[in-house]
Amino acid sequence: MPVETGGSSAAHEVIPPPLASAPAAAAGLPPEAGAPEELIQLLTPEGERVDHPDYPLDISASELRGLYRDLVLVRRMDTEAIALQRQGELGIWASLLGQEAAQIGSGRALGPQDMAFPTYREHGVAWCRGVDPLKLLELFRGVSHGGWDPAEHKFHLYTIVIGSQTLHATGYAMGIQRDGATGDGGEAVIAYFGDGATSQGDVNEAFIWASVFNAPVVFFCQNNQWAISEPLERQSRIPLYQRARGFGFPGMRVDGNDVLACLAVTRAALRAAREGQGPTMIEAFTYRMGAHTTTDDPTRYRLAGDLEAWKLRDPVERVKAYLVRSGSADASFFDEIDAEAARLGARLREACRAMPDPAPLSAFEHIYAGPHPVVDAERDAYAAYLDSFDDAGRDGHGAPPSAAGPPGEPGVPRVAQARGTGGFGRTGEAR
C-alpha cells in the first residue's frame, strides 16, 4: 500500500514503502523494522530479557541500575534544556528524546581510550564521556565556541554539517592504525550520524575509505526515521544496515530502544575494530520522539498515531520493568534516581541562567589557527560598530547592539556588510 506523507517538501506525494520488509511484530516493532532475525534485541518493550546467539551479554544488577540511572538523567537533562530554550535561555536545542538507549548503550560500550565523533544530538554519549551537561548548554546558549576539550574527553566537538564527522572519524581511525595504537586494549573510533546523513556524499566516501583501509571505526547510525521533515523512505530503498555490505564491511540492525542490545552490539563492533577486522555499521532502529530541534513543528508532517505506537517501546520504561521484574531494584532505588534527576535539573537551570555573556569580540577568536585578513577586517568593523554606540548612546539616539544592526546598506546581512569593509572576494557572493 502506498503511504501518503505530509512532509513539507513532499506534501500529497505518494511514496511506496521500502523494499524487503518482513513483519517484526514479535519484537514489538513496526513492520519496517524488518524480520525478527534481522533485528538484534536483548530486552523487549515489555522488559523481558531475551537471548541472541551472536551477542551474549552478562550484566550485573548494579550495572543494570547504572544504565537506568544514565537513561533517566540524560532524559532529565534534555527536558530541562527544552524548557530553558522555551524560556529564552538557549538559542536552540536538539532533543534526544526517544534515543536515550541508543546513545547510552553505545556510549557505555566505549573504553576511556576510544574516540567518539558526534553530531549535534549526542547528549547521552557526551554524558558517558564525562562531559558536564552544562558544557552542552553553553554551546546552545551561544556563549562558547564548543564547550569542552575533545582531547580530554575523547569526544569531538558537536558537528552540525551533516555527515562530515564520519570523514573526520575515518581519518582519525587511519591515524591511530598507523600509530599502532589499536590491538587488544587499544583504541577504536566511533562515528555517530543519522538516517538522513546516509545520503550525504561525505558518509559514502567515509565508508569507502574505512573499508579499503580497514580502518578501526564503528559507524553508528541512529535511524530515528526522520531527517527534519524527510521520512526514511526518502533516504533508502533498502534497510540502511544492508548498505554496509555494498561497501565491503558488515552491517547490523539493532533495536535502538534497547540499551542492552546497543551495548552488546557496539562492544562487539569496537572489539572487531581493535582487533584489525575493520569497520562495522550499526543501524540503531529508533524514533525521534520530539521535534527535530526547538525550531521545528513535527505535527505539520507526521502522524500522532506513530508517536503513540513508539511510546509503547520507550527505552527507559523497559529497563525499569526489567529491574522490577528481576528483583534488581526496589522502590527506594527509583525514588533516589528521581531525586537525583530533580537535583540535576535544578543545577542546570540555575547555572545556565548565571552563565556570563562572552565579550562580543571573542566571536572572532579561534576561527583560523593564525591571523587572517578577512577575520581581522570583520573584527575591526564590528569593534568600530560597538564603539559607535557610546556616542549614539550619549546623544540619547542609540539602540543596544543586540537590537540593531551595524550601519551600512539596508537589507544586507550584517556578516556581509562586515565582510564588505575588508574588500574581499566573498563579499560579492554574500550579497
Ligand X SMILES: Cc1ncc(C[n+]2csc(CCOP(=O)(O)OP(=O)(O)O)c2C)c(N)n1
Per CB under 6 A, 243 contacts ligand X: no
Per CB under 6 A, 297 contacts ligand X: no
Task: Show the cell assigned to 135.
Answer: 558544557
End-to-end CA distance of the chain: 47
User: Which CA distances in Å does 72 have to 198, 317, 337?
Assistant: 29, 10, 8
Shortest reach from residue 14's CB to ligand X, in Å: 22
Contacts of 412 (CB under 8 A, 6+ apart): 420, 431
Task: Show the cell assigned to 56.
Answer: 551474549
Residues 153, 73, 226, 108, CA torsion sign: positive
Shortest reach from residue 235's CB to ligand X, in Å: 8
Per CB under 6 A, 10 contacts ligand X: no
Per CB under 6 A, 121 contacts ligand X: yes
- In the set 161, 238, 309, 346, which binds ligand X (CB under 6 A)? 161
- Exactly one of 292, 313, 318, 419 is catalytic; name it: 292
- In the set 25, 160, 312, 384, which binds ligand X (CB under 6 A)? 160
Per CB under 6 A, 107 contacts ligand X: no
Per CB under 6 A, 75 contacts ligand X: no
Q: How many residues does the chain have?
A: 431
**Residue 392 in contact with residue 403, Cβ under 8 Å?**
no
For Mg ion, the nearest residue by Cβ is 194
Task: Show the cell assigned to 82.
Answer: 527544552
Planar angle of CA 33, 230, 1, nearest 5 degrees? 55
Per CB under 5 A, 229 contacts Mg ion: no
Provide the CA 272 distance to its chain's centre, in angstroms.
Answer: 24
Nearer to ligand X, 161 or 392 (CB): 161
What mask of x and - would describe binding to ligand X in positions 194 to 223, judged by CB under 6 A? xxxx--------------------------
Compute φ and ψ for 376, nearest 5 degrees: -60, -45
**Interacting positions 155-194 with Mg ion (CB under 5 A):** 194
Element (H, E) at 103: helix 100-109
Q: Interface with ligand X by CB under 6 A: which range of 84-92, 191-199, 321-329, 397-405? A: 191-199
Shortest reach from residue 224's CB to Mg ion, in Å: 4
**Residue 315 in contact with residue 97, Cβ under 8 Å?**
no
Residue numbers at the binding site for Mg ion (CB under 5 A): 194-196, 224, 227
Positions marked catalytic = 288, 292, 301
Residue numbers at the binding site for ligand X (CB under 6 A): 119, 121, 160-162, 193-197, 224, 226-228, 288, 292
